Amino acid sequence: GVTLAARAVLPADTFVPDTPAVGVALEPVINGRELPFGDVPVQGFSSLVPRDDNQFVVLQDNGFGTLANSPDYPLGWFHLHIDFAADQPVVEVLDYVNWTDPDGMIPFALTYPDSAPRPLTGADFDPESFVRMNDGSFWVGEEFGPSLVHVDPNGVILEKPIPIPVIPPLRLYSRGSPVLRTPDHPDLRFLRSQEMRLDLANLPRSGGVEGLARNSSGNLLYAAVEKPLSDDPVRTRRTILEFDPVRHGFTDNFWLYDADREDVSLASLEALDDHVFLVLERDGGEGATAQIKRVYRVDLNDFDDRGFLRKRLVCDLMAVDDPDGITSPEDGAIGLGHAFTFPFVTPECLAIIDDRTLLVANDNNYPFSAGRRVGVPDDNEFVRVVLGRGLE
């Protein structure tokens, strides 16, 4: 079985001081919270990169989830410190870095094109995954295109975003486009008609690159596409593509992945070495309706008889033992106590600590998601789990 080793919680109502108000486009009250917020909330954790001394760089998504509702939300990432060894583990926000495009690398119109240094917002990109390179820069997988975006350590865009190609077996279902396109793709987002955008897109909204991993050799990246092409008749088919950061382009290598159900998204991808990877699958349920929140192991050299990657379950986040009482049952709370669960709609951050230990965190979608307690915005939870067997 899988055992809970540590849990740290950053309260939902945590904000970055001295930042702009956000949420003007939302309802005035959501899950008991009044909007707009006077500062940027510390939320939307979609990917994390461990650093030394229990520090982490944590990517924030586009803000409130859609292009339409997040034009005032600045893009960025957080530097966090988490002391799991403390009696009461604490998550500390050390720094907040914003994205900018001062050199005009982005080839489409930005939300705020005329304000220096051309700050980026949640109506420009939806960052969902990232990896750190040896030079300190980050490659980011984003969903609106989808595309890969190269950003320096200070959040400055380094080059033009790179589109995601349609792999050969799926070209029949790509609606004539050589690249993946959601309805929010820069080529489509300015069309007047929503119907036209949907007709020309070949991916659904929020269906782009949700997982991005760097192999242990450091020379190749792997991008997992969250959802199937809109016209793909095999509704559980997902794809993983190989990217060469030196060539700044995708290679011809790709893999087919079979999700547990049609409605399952690939939420994260993490590399153990050059060919063994972990994939985090999630359904759309939260709280009492959460079912599939699972981590699978795949080997890029191991296929089933249909050509899909063979997968092995390594962690069911809805079935974690807590024999040491790290959590205790609470009235109105779901999944705390001896039978611990991670009942969030979007568990999106995954890191391999060692061959037997994983770190998982949720995107709490503040103030929307309420998986732990009905009607109460979810906290940001970081859990370390020990696996029943090694990943090798």
| Secondary structure element (H or E) that encloses residue 281, with its range | strand 276-282
> How much is the pTM?
0.97
- Please name the residues in contact with 74: beta carbons below 8 A apart, sequence gap of 6 or more: 19, 20, 22, 40, 98, 99, 119, 120, 121, 122
Stated as kind and residue range, the H or E segment containing 198 is helix 194-200
pLDDT digits (tens, 9 = 90+) for 340-361: 999 999 999 999 999 999 999 9
- Give the helix/strand (H/E) hosting 196: helix 194-200
- What is the reported pLDDT for 257? 98
pLDDT-flagged residues of the chain (< 50): none
Contacts of residue 112, defined as CB under 8 A and 6 or more positions apart, other chains included, come to: 118, 119, 121
Q: Rounded to the nearest 5°, which phi and psi values hold at 173?
A: -110, 15
By the 10 Å C-beta count (0-12 exposed, 13-18 middle, 19+ buried), 39 is classed as: middle
In the structure encoding, which two tokens stand for residue 263, read together? 């409605």
For the stretch 47-89, pLDDT in tens is 999 998 899 999 999 999 999 999 999 999 999 999 998 888 9
Give pLDDT, residue 190: 87
- Render pLDDT for 181-212 as a digit per residue (tens, 0 to 9): 999 999 999 898 999 999 999 999 989 999 99
CB burial of 17-38 (b: ≥16 within 10 Å; e: otherwise) equals eebeebbebbeeebbebebebe
Of 331, 321, 306, the residue nearest 234 (C-alpha) = 306
At 114 the pLDDT is 83
DSSP single-letter state for residue 366: T
pLDDT at position 113, please?
84
State in Å, rounded, how far the first CA of the chain is from the last one. Answer: 17
User: In this predicted structure, what is the pLDDT of residue 392?
Assistant: 84
> What's residue 112's pLDDT?
87
Beta bridge partners of 223: 212, 241
User: How far is C-alpha 16 from the geometric centre of its chain's CA atoms?
Assistant: 21
User: Tell me, what's the pLDDT at 115?
Assistant: 84
